[in-house]
Structure 1
Amino acid sequence: MKKLSLLLFLAMVSIMASAATGDTFTVGDLNYEVFNEDRNTVDVTGLSAAGKAKSDLALVIPPVVTHNGVRYNVSRIQETAFSNSSNLKSVTFSYNPDSWVIILQGAFAFCTNLTYVRFASSTYSILSTAFIGCSKLKDFYFARTTLPIVYDFLPRNVGMTLYVSKADPNTVERYRANEKFDFIKNIVKSSLAYDFRWEDGALMAWKDNTYNRDLVMVGWDRTAGLVQDRAFVPLCGSGTYGAYGNKYNFVAIADSACLGDTYLKSIDLSQLTRMETIGVSAFSGCTSLSTVVLGSSVKTLLANAFNGCTALTDLTVNAQTPPIAFASCFTTYETTTLRVPAAALSAYKNHAVWGKFLNIKAIGKDGLPGDVNGDDVVDVTDANILINMLLGKDNASNYNGRADVNGDGTVDVSDVNEVLNIMLGK
């Protein structure tokens, strides 16, 4: 019995083991071949029977694929892998921070119904004739801000448009200067050149070409563009993307990312631990935007960030140090309530830009300075709480920063006096 169990165990281990270089398998619409068994990388060799049976196929090349319990990085598209695939309508390459992707010669040659292709920033190289004979190919999307290694891979179709990432202001010039793209007259920045699509339709671009895996929001997917009263609430600053386990950090909102978005009603970035920058005109002209919450890591708001957001009534900034900001960031200084950490209340009030807000309150249940316990009133109870703190009978950390009433960074007798003055109307 023990011998039989051992044999079953060894059989299971064998099944779970990595395939050898050259072994082939099929997952979904694609066929694969193991390229390097030591590094667990595979080539895409073409469409499976299921893929060939589909009409107007919108093909997605996954970053990883799992076979017999082993996870493989997709690293290459083999020569002529999809050549003459007349059912292929579009191709999207998914982003993988753990592996570059190389597209070999003739990989998509003569796919005569192929209309657009999206390349993730992990696309490293595209070799000669990769898309030759694709007579209907009109739109290319490149998420990579620096150029991939490319050869004469494109058909010289009239009216082709190359969409490049908005994450770098010099991307258009960089692509236009390369002789492999010089025949394309229409090279434009677009939020459609992206790596990630958030669940609510927000588009994310890889910040740079290193492995730090930082993401920048560059806009909204077209399918999410008409959603009324949209809320943008990313729930984590460092987590996983999709089912692939790739790590990311959400660090910035790109210039003009949501410019003129009249459907956006609220923004809550409070859970983002690495978000530092709101770009130029990022939310300018969002006339339905009424509530904004910025996290504690925000350091910079660039020019016109929330300019023209005429419905903005409540703005919360959780940063203990007032972020760098420009006067043009806002146009509603008289009508927006600014809520800031109680300990930093004085710093915000004395700031050249943040001090322009006429109504600045400490963050708390009610936002009333002096309301230490957050019960919606300032009274003797609040003074007693402060006295107990001075006697060592209570702790300021229990009151979410509200105990430092005068915002000087310490809780002392002056805070008690401040509460008493508020109670007396002084």
Structure 2
Amino acid sequence: MKPKLFYFLLWMIGLNNTNAQIGNLFTVSNIKYKVLTQNNTTNIGTVEVAGDYENYAYAGNPKLSLPATVISDGITYAVTHIGKNAFKESFSGSGNNVLTHVDLSRATNLTSIGSKAFEKCIKITSIHFPNNLTSIGVNTFRDCSSLTSISFPNSLTRIGNGAFQYCTSLISADISHTKVTNIGQNTFSGCSSLTSVIFPNSLTNIGSVAFMNCSSLTSVTFPNVLTSIGRSAFQNCSSLTSADLSLTKVASIGRGAFRYSALTSVTFPSSLTNIGRLAFESCLALTSVRFSSSLPRIESDAFYGCTALLNVSAKVPEPNITTLRKKVFLSVKPY
């Protein structure tokens, strides 16, 4: 046999061993899996929980628990992902098929949960994540309206936009031990029972509408490395009474960021360069704002309707303080 032909046949055998089953589906304990990688020589591979969610066959157990590995046809597969839409609306009805608990703590190879994987599973009350999880996708737990508690792992680096939007029974969110750097758009918006959130020291950005309509939110501690707060991030947080940003590196506060909140005082950092339009509109209880050494750009109507605002202080010399006060008070009730 010619050498080139021999090596070609070896390459074909290796290709068949590693790729022949990729994309195939199989079922173990009523859970459907999709093969991501496979090596028939070593008999190992990886799978994700399949994204085919309609009439998903997981009957008779209200608690979902996934293993670290599954075996099919002599191959041991590590369960590394939960696919897009995997359990979406699968357990939103009544009877034996109603999912109430998600315990993923045994799935120690799981690193990511895909978009909308548990969206509208309206009876889920608790979630336990594995220690190696790094990513939660877009809208993953959106509209899980019975969810009351979440335990986030230290390994987590990403929470997708809208991941917990409209989780109206969620009481607290402690992200402090994670490595998350960004809270994206709509991540916790509409969580009307959320009373407290604890951010990690790694957080640099709070995105647009991230906590909008969290009407029970009373306290927020902002990390020192935070640089920006997005549009309407805390709009309609009608129980939020204070925002101390003095130790942060926030440079920009977006349009409507604290609009219609219950703030009584705000302390700004020296890094602040811009306060967006309507950022503090109709904060009717706001009586004082304190600036540091900077003179930020204050866009029109930034404090519009803050009729109780009487005290504006800053660590700047005259006449800068006079100019600053004029900017603030003009925005309360524009001419």
Q: Which TM-score bucket, shorter chain as reference?
A: 0.3 to 0.5
If you compute each CA radius of gyration, which structure gives the higher value, 1 or 2? Answer: 1
TM-score (norm 2): 0.45
Of structures 1 and 2, the one with the larger relative CO (CA 8 A, separation 6+) is: 2
TM-score (norm 1): 0.37
